[in-house]
Amino acid sequence: MTATCACGQASITVNALPSMHGVCHCTNCKRRTGSAFGISAYFDRTAVVQQRGETKTYTFHHTAQNHDQERHFCSHCGTTLFWFVSSVPEKIGIAGGCFADAGLPEPSYSVTDRKRESWVSLPQHWEVYAD
């Protein structure tokens, strides 16, 4: 499966399904995506088989979740494509929406749910974490 930025210049290909896949309603993910939540698919780093195109990075400390993040975004269109989180060093997070052509299986959880927009409803069988 290949995740691609909006302009098609950068992509990342994995050879497995995500080991963790959910939505996050934190302010940072809302700003990262320009949407009501972020869709995050986490894979073992060993699942990455190809990364194409130039990305730039920015790093920050996520105070609410007490971890550091390194985000990679397309140097041409600015799409956030993938990231690393210090609390799960063996994983790589890839923006779920960037798998637009291949699609992903249904997410299984919602995090920072206390910040979920009131008009967003979730399947009842998902795990829900307030923070």
Host domain of residue 121: 2-128
Report whether pLDDT(127) > 80.
yes
Q: Look at residue 62 in the predicted model and tell me its pLDDT.
A: 82
Distance (Å, rounded) from C-alpha 4 to C-alpha 82?
Answer: 10
Confidence of residue 125 (pLDDT cuts 50, 70, 90): very high
Find the CATH number of the domain harbouring 75.
Answer: 2.170.150.70
Res. 70: pLDDT tops 90: yes
**pLDDT tens across 15-67, in order?**
999 999 999 999 989 999 999 999 999 999 999 999 999 999 999 998 877 88
pLDDT of residue 37: 96
Share the mean pLDDT of the chain: 95
| Distance from C-alpha of 90 to C-alpha of 87, rounded to nearest angstrom | 9
Query: pTM (2 decimals)?
Result: 0.93
**Total tally of structural domains belonging to the chain:** 1
pLDDT at residue 64 in the model: 75
What's the confidence (pLDDT) of residue 131?
A: 86
- Per-residue confidence (pLDDT) for residue 103, from 0 to 100: 81
Residue-level pLDDT at 77: 97
